[in-house]
Amino acid sequence: MIRHTVVFRLKHAKDSEAEQGFLAEALVLAEIPGVERFEQLRQVSRKNDYDFGFSMEFADEAAYAGYNDHPVHVAFVRDRWIPEVESFLEIDYVPLTGA
């Protein structure tokens, strides 16, 4: 299992229509084959300056690669993510064995 996470800050004003539009459009990512447990999250820690997070899981490396190369993901990154995200940090996890 691979858990793919990203925290980010948008270029849009908080609670704006543009912010809500971005988040609504991002829901298309959950429809990509192989995506499991997709979540949109509001980041609340005062220890960083990100506002949102996405989290999703993949059964294996092949499912994750399929997501990354899927035309819907590629289009979302090109058309929404790159122009609208100001800053982000992506972290992918796999479970520790025996932990």
Provide the pLDDT for residue 70: 98
Residue 44 has pLDDT above 80, yes or no: yes
Note down the domain range covering 64: 2-93
Whole-number average pLDDT of the chain? 96
Identify residue 65 by its one-letter amino acid code.
Answer: A
CATH number at residue 52: 3.30.70.100
Rounded Cα gap, residues 89 and 4, in angstroms: 11
Full-model pTM: 0.91
* pLDDT, tens only, 47-74: 999 999 999 999 999 999 999 999 999 9
Instruction: Indicate the number of domains in the chain.
Output: 1
Query: Residue 98: which region, alpha, beta or left (left: phi > 0; alpha: psi -120 to 50)?
Result: left
